[in-house]
Structure 1
Amino acid sequence: MAKYLLIDGFNMAFRAFYAVKELRRSDGFPTNALYGWVRSMWKLLDDQKADHVTVFFDLGGALEKLELLPDYKANRGETPEEFEQQVPIIKQLTRAMGFGLVELEGVESDDLLAAYATRLVVKEPDALVQIVSADKDFAQSVTERIHLLLPPPTANPRLGWRELDPAGVEEKWGLPPEKMVDYLSLIGDTSDNIPGVPGCGPKTAVKWLTEYGDIDGVMANASDIKPPLFRELLPTLKERMELNRKIIGFNLTHHEGEELDTGSLDLEALCKILEEMEMKSHHAEALKRYSQGELF
């Protein structure tokens, strides 16, 4: 059985950036995200023993979603300059470490990742795909052969990595994967500037979807909904819910027909980058990990 790790690049890179503080090259260039990135990727490889690893990055401009909701993600602050400085090198490291890299101008990496995950398990009936991300949107993609690998929560790192299959998704959020788009549409997503039903939190959304099946069922039974304060509000939000579904649900048509880039190791390039970034311990580990030093 082939095992694929599909990694949400910026999600993991930001975690690396904030996990390691004040690490710089001798000339002042920041290297904290680079340090954390390499360490976290090696940790994933050691723990998951995947056959193939591909990282997905955003190039900017979620055109389809911005057409639907011009304020999509408009509430996000400026990306730290020191993080942006390290992104090109993170991508160089990713390729040199032997990982595939996928990015497409104007298309969100989440859609690309979900599309490839879905097609992989159709093309390879015995394949197992693990989506590596803390983004709850990926819960909608989970099946018996597509799992969500959640990194340790920042607030509780001792919890460790968690692999969620369909039962795991239901245990965590109270609903199966096929209801996650409707769940997220109802509660909204403040991080992406997607408004939900005002006053509807996770518990209420789970209750409604458990009782009525989906948003259509909720709307059809609005006159009987509890709490009663929502009975007049819900019918006014029908168009918003349809919009939310389109934005939150993944477009699985991107890069149709294209083979997944699974990469190939370039030890010489990797060592050169690590030396240039003055990451001495990483350089030594790379030699030990990949070649036992015989090439140098």
Structure 2
Amino acid sequence: MANWLLIDGFNLAFRAFYGMPELTRSSDGFPTGALHGWVKALWRLIDEQRPAGGALVFFDLGGSQERLALHPEYKAQRRETPEALTQQLPFIRELTRAMGLGGIEREGVESDDLLAAQAVALAGGGDTVRIVSADKDFAQVVGGGVTLLLPPPTANPRIGWRHLDAVGVTEKFGVGPGQIADFLALVGDTSDNIPGLAGVGPKTAAKWLQAHGSLEGVLANAAEIKPERFRQELASAAERLRLNRQLTRFDLSLPTLTREELAQSQHINLGELLRLLGELEMKSAQAEAQRRYAQPELF
């Protein structure tokens, strides 16, 4: 049995970008702050978590065509990625692959679905998986060997990284992992432009799901729901709420990589890594890479 670290790439990249000062390459002013934060964050995670199976990063490569077909406004409200981060993303991908961390992506499929399906597949084979992300959607696959590793909150970074297991999911949301998609369907998800039922907050949604088990159970008992003002609203919005659940639920039927394929993606290319870091004028990171990968037994 191996333990794995599966990393939500863009989630961590944004944290690296906003968590570092505006560093630039001295020769031409090219932004490098996110790149410095990226390699430091990955090395710190690996050192602290020591994933025996390996660490793998998942990236988005275009949006989910299936979700866009269902809901054209899906994620439409998201702010554009800052130009300085957009410039650094190709290098983030290249550095990730040179570091032997996969950089897994698939056209037309969201990285969240790829990561969730891979986590469930590995756990189903007896391994343990820690998903690195602040995205609450991943709570729906926690359990059975899968836990969520939450980054420190921006408002209080001293809290540090936090592990969330199935019990922790229930404590945090008021519902278990198997009810998270239904919970999000009711309350909505502003980050993905999914509108919930107006006026329904987390406590109300959790109370309904505790009483009726699922979104379908809530809808079937709409005439008895309290507060009473939501009874007609639930009946009128039933199909939209079912659509919400389709949008919030992960596609766990996606093909996943075998352990052999995952092992092949973890090949460290030290020469390419040193070249990239040199090109980016990241001298301290270059020295750390030379030390770390020339003596891998120390790490």
Q: What interval of TM-score do these two structures reach, taking the shorter chain for normalisation?
A: over 0.9
Distance 1:189 1:165 in 2: 22
**More off after superposition, 131-140 vs 246-255:** 246-255
2:272 alignment counterpart: 269
**More off after superposition, 106-115 vs 253-262:** 253-262
- Is residue 2 of structure 2 the alignment partner of residue 8 of structure 1? no
Question: 2:114·2:256 contact (CA, 8 Å) conserved in 1?
Answer: no
Question: 1:101·1:263 contact (CA, 8 Å) conserved in 2?
Answer: no
Deviations 1:19-51 (A, max 9, x none): 012100011000011000000000100110012
1:44 alignment counterpart: 45
Letter in 1 for 2:286: H
Q: What are the within-5 Å matches in structure 2 for residues 165-176 of structure 1?
A: 165-176=165-176
The two structures have a TM-score, normalised by structure 2, of 0.94
Deviations 1:116-168 (A, max 9, x none): 1111122x32x111111100000001013011111111111111101111011
Distance 1:220 1:144 in 2: 30
- Is residue 292 of structure 2 the alignment partner of residue 289 of structure 1? yes
Distance 1:30 1:205 in 2: 43
Distance 2:250 2:116 in 1: 7
Letter in 1 for 2:270: L
Distance 1:139 1:102 in 2: 21
Unaligned runs of 5+ in 2: none
Distance 2:205 2:63 in 1: 30
1:22 alignment counterpart: 22
Alpha-carbon shift at residue 262 of structure 1 (Å): 4.0
Alpha-carbon shift at residue 98 of structure 1 (Å): 1.4
Distance 1:280 1:165 in 2: 39
Distance 2:287 2:104 in 1: 28
Question: 1:115·1:252 contact (CA, 8 Å) conserved in 2?
Answer: yes
1:188 alignment counterpart: 188
Distance 1:165 1:256 in 2: 23
- Is residue 152 of structure 2 the alignment partner of residue 163 of structure 1? no
* C-alpha RMSD of matched pairs (Å): 1.4
2:229 alignment counterpart: 229
Question: 2:185·2:245 contact (CA, 8 Å) conserved in 1?
Answer: yes
Question: 2:97·2:103 contact (CA, 8 Å) conserved in 1?
Answer: yes
1:205 alignment counterpart: 205
Alpha-carbon shift at residue 253 of structure 1 (Å): 2.1
Distance 1:61 1:292 in 2: 39
Distance 1:185 1:225 in 2: 17
Residue identity over aligned pairs, in percent, reads: 57
Question: 1:144·1:165 contact (CA, 8 Å) conserved in 2?
Answer: no
2:69 to 67, 70, 76: 67
Question: 1:174·1:206 contact (CA, 8 Å) conserved in 2?
Answer: yes
Question: 1:53·1:262 contact (CA, 8 Å) conserved in 2?
Answer: no
1:89 alignment counterpart: 91
The two structures have a TM-score, normalised by structure 1, of 0.95
Distance 2:200 2:285 in 1: 47
